[in-house]
Structure 1
Amino acid sequence: MAKDKFPYSFKVTAASVVNKDQTVVVAPDEAGLKAIAEAFDLEAARGLKAEFTLKPYRKAGLRVVGPVTATIAQVCVVSLEPFESSLKLDVDRTFEAHSGKPGKIRDLNEDGEIEVDLESLDPPDVIVDGVLDLGAVICEELALSLDPFPRKPGVAFEGGVADADDEVAEKKPSPFAALQALKDGKET
């Protein structure tokens, strides 16, 4: 999925949040839910709702805080049965109107490398043309939270890797058994 191409969009003007917090509830309609489900290989997405509080951040930025809840239906990679699960994601992200001087990449050291401090907060994302797409925020958070190999609760993969000839696989000694035999042979 391209960075600027999300299956759902809900845009707000950053300038509308000036000196006080603003609450925004985002709930995609049926077409939006269907587009999100298709984009993320879900059987279905239902009850998707975000209750964001938009807070002023620095001079022209925004902080987006609040929960995203949904019920999603996926297909189990083990049993191939569809199953539903509930999601509750806590969003806390910051956005700035610009990311530094035009044409300059942020956070490069003198060697031209990006330095990452694992103890610091993530740098703010960018508000493009004064507009923040809360639909894109929801889609990004959802994409990051989905298990790429979903399993229905209680289902486990049994049997391990199947060989072409299961009887030969059963008779093959464990490499650890061979090591134990060498050890036992040296001690006697």
Structure 2
Amino acid sequence: MTETPSIVPVTATEAECRALATFLGIAAVESCKATYEVRSRRDGGVIVNGTVGAAVVQSCVATLAPVPQTVVERVHITYLPPTVAAKLAEEIDFEVTGDDPPDVLDGTTIDLGAITTEHLALGLDPYPRAPGAEFTVAGETEEADADTPRSPFAELARLKGNAPDGER
């Protein structure tokens, strides 16, 4: 690989989209594309920059209705040979809010499909909601006294039929 960047497009096939949806535990991946700029470093490392974009359908956490969404995630990963990565790890303190530390380049190939899958997963909404969906807990009513929080133990006792007279 030269220091001139290579532009590498990645487009998931229909079968790969179905496999991605199954792997990610979501209703559907309608499309998934990425474009990467892959550039070698003078120390034998590789820099991967790019963008992952996908059209997905997740299930609403309140109603289970389908929630179509668009995912766009930026990718910036630095891979270093094991010896360079080990030396760097000894010399630099990494900050939690700073850039990710470099990954170790294991072998001579980089799996852009795995990078695409990882960044798609990172871009998913962890709690997708359909428009207007509301979450209510079974047994709660709007008439309940908002100033008196219910203890989970009181609720359990109510369900078992052992609640004090005023709490049934």
* Aligned position for 1:38: 22
Q: Is the 8 A contact 1:74 1:84 kept in 2?
A: yes
User: Partner amino acid for 2:110?
Assistant: L
1:73 aligns with 2:69: no
Q: Is the 8 A contact 1:57 1:94 kept in 2?
A: no
Within the candidate set 92, 96, 109, 1:118 is matched to: 96
Cα distance between partner residues in 1 of 2:74 and 2:145: 51
Q: Percent identity?
A: 30
Within the candidate set 137, 140, 146, 2:124 is matched to: 146
Cα distance between partner residues in 2 of 1:156 and 1:44: 20
Q: How does 1:131-142 map to 2 (within 5 A)?
A: 131-142=109-120
1:174 aligns with 2:152: no
Cα distance between partner residues in 1 of 2:87 and 2:126: 31
Cα distance between partner residues in 2 of 1:142 and 1:33: 11
* Cα drift, residue 18 of structure 1: 1.7
Q: Is the 8 A contact 2:54 2:120 kept in 1?
A: no
For residues 65-118 of structure 1, give each alpha carbon's deviation from its aligned partner in whole angstroms, at most 9, with x where no partner exists.
1111110011111121112111111111111132658xx798479xxxxx6423
Q: How does 1:40-119 map to 2 (within 5 A)?
A: 40-98=24-82, 107=89, 116-118=94-96
Q: Which has the higher contact order (CA 8 A, sep 6+)?
A: 1
Structure 2: state its 5+ residue gaps: 150-168
Normalising to structure 2: TM-score of the pair? 0.74
Secondary structure, counterpart of 2:82 in structure 1: coil
Structure 1: state its 5+ residue gaps: 1-16, 110-114, 176-188
